[in-house]
Structure 1
Amino acid sequence: MTQLLPLLAVMAGSAAAALIFRRCRIPLWPITGGLVGAAAINLGFGLAVQVPNLIVLLAQLLVGTAIGATIAPDTFRQFRRFLAPGSLAVGAVLGAGLLFGWAFAALGILDPAEAMLSLMPGGVGEMVTAGVALGFDGAVIIGAHMVRLFTVLLSLPLVLWVAVKIRQRWIADPDETGPQQP
């Protein structure tokens, strides 16, 4: 019973921050808001809440179910079109992730397995779930993925602006009219 109140407080903080993130239209609000809210309550009140293994297992099952349910028969027909370029892009990102993961592990910054899971492409929820299921520190993995996610989201307007300028200058026909700004 002594752990129930702190656990409920952390869960309430998680839910409250997720709702605030949703209202502010922050991407991935359930994950990012939940993470920030739970961490704020846990750290702000000096708690050391451990979520029971049964709840962690149920959450992992729900994440897997939610991802699996999105796969439809036409998913594989659409996938064929992106197989070659997607494989090339993923291979490059995986190679970079492995290289940096190995470097971080060699420098003693991160545990080798956590470094690899932290730097691999993939969704935040999926990589953290995989790491926790394998017995690694989910906080380290989610921290690295949150840095990646926020960096990408904050730099996206600049990247899109550059892409539009490149297209206008070197790719598009002079007579072609289209949106000037993303």
Structure 2
Amino acid sequence: MACSAPRPAPNDLNAFLKSLPLALALCLLGLIGGIVAHYAHFPLPYMLGSLFCVALVTGLMPRALPQNYRFPEHFRSIFIGMIGATIGAKITWDVLGQLPQVSLSMAALTLFVPLTQWLNFLIFHKIGGYDRPTAFFSGSPGGLIEAIVSGEAAGADVRVLAVQQFLRIIMVVTCLPIGLSLYYGHPVGSAAGISLNRTAVGVEHVPAVIAIAVVGLLIFRRLHIPASQLIGPLICAAIVTLSGLSVIQAPSWLISGCQVVIGTSLGTRFAGMDLKRLVKATGLSILSVGTMVAVGLAMALSIAPITGQHMDVLLISFSPGGVTEMALIALSLNANPAVVTLHHLYRIILTVVMLGVAKRRQWFPNPADQQGPGKL
């Protein structure tokens, strides 16, 4: 994808072009699921709706996809990059100016990430019986894409890993808004129809978003930055925003479209997953997410009197769910969504760095030496 990188081999390009029609057809199916989820008032409707729809169809009709089908990575990366650019644009000088006020909660978050990673590893390895790489990367409290990519390289069972990571996000972004909605007596988050964009954004902003995404992908992939397809555009957008060179905003329909592509690509990972395995993964996910939320709640309760921040806002900041949904919940509580986003970006970056260290230091055996899958 990079201009300065070697051009794709003809065989790779032909394979990509051949896989594109099926990918677009799957995205259309995902869009239908996203629209249904939107009108059903699901949180993160276009991502989760497309994920559920594609996973259901490919699960019921396993022959609908070619054997060992992989969603085109270069196609998906562009849309992940646009999400990264949109998030990075939320980092403004006003947000950075609040860093001293959130330094304690950031320090607590620095403890939260390795602690929950370790607890999750114990849950998936000791209780779930997963092999060490599958358990470690399944327990990542963030960085879904990087966890899957790094886990695959370390010899983890990708289907097990993908299911556990999907369930983490699904449970947090579904249960937390529902729980807070019951607590407050009214809907919160995207289920309340709230958007990160307070005003309508025109199509004229789209070229800038795409350009930032592409530039971030080109530069940071060559630097071998972990989760470069997300972090690269995010950093580039933050630089552009902070320097005042441009205002980076994405229309809601573009963000929804990106979520459809990402959700669709993730949904294809469920192909061939049987009900028994899914039930086991769900039980482990309930235990894992419950543990992470309990740790986050304990930290929020302990530092709330010192920081002066509301306990519920701190809980949202420590909840290992989707960045967008957590920001939407904060917005519905009249909290600064950018501050909540900053916490979650820091959580993701910490997690991605930790996964990168595990991968580069080769904490796990070579994939060729693995004796089998993750025993799901």
Q: Distance in 1 between matches of 2:172 and 2:129?
A: 17
The partner residue of 1:21 within 37, 40, 47 is 37
More deviation, 130-139/31-40: 130-139
Larger RCO, structure (CA 8 Å, separation 6 or more)? 2
Supply the AA of the counterpart residue of 2:168.
A
* Paired residues of 2:137 and 2:148 also in contact (CA < 8 A): no
Count of residues in Structure 1 that have an aligned counterpart in Structure 2: 158
The question of 1:64 aligning with 2:103 is answered: no
Specify the alignment match of 1:147 in structure 2.
Answer: 171
RMSD: 3.1
The partner residue of 1:30 within 27, 30, 46 is 46
Alpha-carbon distance change, 17 to 61 in structure 1, aligned in 2, over 3 angstroms: same
Alpha-carbon distance change, 40 to 8 in structure 1, aligned in 2, over 3 angstroms: farther
- Deviation, 1:14, is 0.9
The partner residue of 2:93 within 73, 76, 97 is 73
Alpha-carbon distance change, 9 to 148 in structure 1, aligned in 2, over 3 angstroms: same
- Deviation, 1:147, is 2.7
Q: Distance in 2 between matches of 1:103 and 1:13?
A: 35
* TM-score using structure 1 length: 0.67
Alpha-carbon distance change, 2 to 108 in structure 1, aligned in 2, over 3 angstroms: same
Q: Distance in 2 between matches of 1:56 and 1:8?
A: 11
Q: Deviations over 1:64-105 (max 9, x none)?
A: 222222211211112321220343256246413421223312
The question of 1:41 aligning with 2:65 is answered: no
Q: Distance in 1 between matches of 2:131 and 2:91?
A: 34
* Paired residues of 1:10 and 1:38 also in contact (CA < 8 A): yes
Q: Distance in 2 between matches of 1:146 and 1:106?
A: 23
Q: Deviations over 1:39-63 (max 9, x none)?
A: 1222232233421121232233223
Look up the SS of the partner of 1:134 in the other structure: helix
* Paired residues of 2:37 and 2:45 also in contact (CA < 8 A): yes
Q: Distance in 1 between matches of 2:76 and 2:173?
A: 23
Q: Distance in 2 between matches of 1:102 and 1:55?
A: 36
Look up the SS of the partner of 1:78 in the other structure: coil
* Paired residues of 2:42 and 2:174 also in contact (CA < 8 A): no
* Paired residues of 1:105 and 1:111 also in contact (CA < 8 A): yes
Alpha-carbon distance change, 2 to 53 in structure 1, aligned in 2, over 3 angstroms: closer
* Paired residues of 1:13 and 1:41 also in contact (CA < 8 A): no
Q: Deviations over 1:136-179 (max 9, x none)?
A: 33343212332333332333345557xxxxxxxxxxxxxxxxxx
Alpha-carbon distance change, 86 to 39 in structure 1, aligned in 2, over 3 angstroms: same
Supply the AA of the counterpart residue of 1:143.
L
- Deviation, 1:6, is 4.4
Alpha-carbon distance change, 43 to 119 in structure 1, aligned in 2, over 3 angstroms: same
